[in-house]
Amino acid sequence: MKLTTLDDWLSGVGASTDPIRGRRVFVRADLNVPLEAGKIVDDTRLRASLGTVKRLCAAGARVILASHLGRPRGERVASLSLAPIAPRLAELSGLPVAFAPDSVGKAVAARANALAEGEVLLLENLRFHPGETANEPEFSRSLASLADLYVNDAFGTAHRAHASTAGMVEHVSSAAAGDLMLNEIRNLNAIVEPERPLLCLLGGAKVSDKLGVLRNLAERADLLAIGGAMAYTFLAARNEAVGDSLVEAQRIDDARALIDRAEADRCKLLLPTDHVVSQSLDGTGETKIVQTIPDGWRGVDIGPETAARYADAARTARTIFWNGPMGIFEVEPFSKGTQEVAQAVAQSPATSVVGGGDSLAAVNRLGIGDRIGHLSTGGGASLEFVQGLRLPGLAALEH
């Protein structure tokens, strides 16, 4: 994959035909941070986006910064405004960051044109316009008209063919991948072409959400460890008792086929052998550890025996990819399995990549992020990338 990079542009800075200084550069970032009552709860993604913005500003660019926030579905939703993001970006970066109350239009264009070198203009939530997710040509051209150059630094949306990730690229004179984007590609390539043994830890609620990646990794991985609620669909496929645990009945045949595929591809499939079960999901009811889940009880976490097996696999792996919690980790009594797996990944000498919002939240809650090889900002995008699928945001940059 050959992409233009910031280094390619910056190598010409200071020349008579300086490619950056004074140019309007549109940066598609991932500023989709959690907000509560207008306050930023976790600014990890903001910090991750600063490197590219600061490099461009230092080179004299006039930066137009754009992102989505949540799923407003083409309508203005006050609680999903990016307005609270601008002052925090300014505080973190030390740069002047202004805010535009829209993402297209004459007023926005005027503010973009008035930017001085080294200044940043943050646009309002792109998804307030239905043309963003629909990748409408007119909206794409309107975004592109704000800038001379384009940078995509939002790996988390690279698997979406939206106006800001794909459609507008053909209307600018040059496009490049940002530093965060390149870092994601470089680290995820370690999963695509791994040092073995490769351990893949997958959790989450539904098999249907990750069926494609499960099939793909069953062919590539040496060990595939499954946790979370989707494990019960696999156990049901093996005719094991799962009580009242969440099971996707329509995916049992798929799970059975995947078990057979893993065996044929000599991938060792690890499934829970003991379980934390409860009759309530809020953590207030009785819990117990069982090997066979009785009727009326529901699996809410992998049990200690299973957690120890998964942790042992992490310690002996040379490459680890983890996406999805092992249980309902946000409820304290059901979090121990995810915590033990997270600690084992952090302690492992393996090359490790952790992706997905819940997995990252677990790592951050434990304060062990600095001991993980790479924390991927892209949940769905990272899953598609490790499957070898072509991401529209990257394909647009290749052009």
Residue 356: predicted pLDDT:
78
Q: What percent of the chain has pLDDT over 70?
A: 98
Q: What is the mean pLDDT of residues 165-176?
A: 96
Class of domain 6-181: alpha beta
Q: Whose CA is closest to 349, among 192, 199, 226?
A: 199
Answer yes or no: pTM beyond 0.85: yes
Q: What is the mean pLDDT of residues 158-186?
A: 96
Q: What is the mean pLDDT of residues 376-391?
A: 87
Q: Which two tokens stand for residue 290?
A: 């069982």
Enzyme catalytic residues? 45, 206, 357, 380
Q: Which residue has the higher pLDDT, 355 or 175?
A: 175
Architecture per CATH, 194-386: 3-Layer(aba) Sandwich (3.40)
Residue 365: predicted pLDDT:
85
Please say whether the dihedral angle defined by the alpha carbons of residues 337, 339, 340 and 341, taken in this order, is positive or negative: positive
Q: Whose CA is closest to 199, among 345, 89, 325?
A: 345
Q: Are the C-beta atoms of 287 and 277 separated by less than 8 Å?
A: yes
Residue 366: predicted pLDDT:
87
Q: What is the mean pLDDT of residues 1-10?
A: 90
pLDDT grade for 355, boundaries at 50, 70 and 90: confident
Q: Are the C-beta atoms of 397 and 4 separated by less than 8 Å?
A: yes
Residue 241: predicted pLDDT:
96
pLDDT grade for 23, boundaries at 50, 70 and 90: very high
The residue type at 157: T
Q: What is the mean pLDDT of residues 148-161?
A: 96
With 60 as the cut, is the pLDDT of residue 16 above it?
no
Q: What is the mean pLDDT of residues 227-237?
A: 96
With 70 as the cut, is the pLDDT of residue 203 above it?
yes
Residue 42: predicted pLDDT:
83
Residue 43: predicted pLDDT:
87
With 90 as the cut, is the pLDDT of residue 3 above it?
yes
Residue 15: predicted pLDDT:
60
pLDDT grade for 13, boundaries at 50, 70 and 90: low
Q: Give tens-digit pLDDT for 131-144.
A: 999 999 999 999 99
With 90 as the cut, is the pLDDT of residue 205 above it?
no
Q: What percent of the chain has pLDDT over 90?
A: 81
d(CA 219, CA 230): 19
pLDDT grade for 399, boundaries at 50, 70 and 90: low
Residue 235: predicted pLDDT:
97
Residue 45: predicted pLDDT:
87
The residue type at 61: A
Q: Which two tokens stand for residue 87?
A: 């002052």
d(CA 207, CA 218): 14
Residue 359: predicted pLDDT:
83
Domain ranges of the chain: 6-181, 194-386
> Among the listed ranges 84-88, 270-274, 288-292, 366-370, which one has the minimum average pLDDT value?
366-370
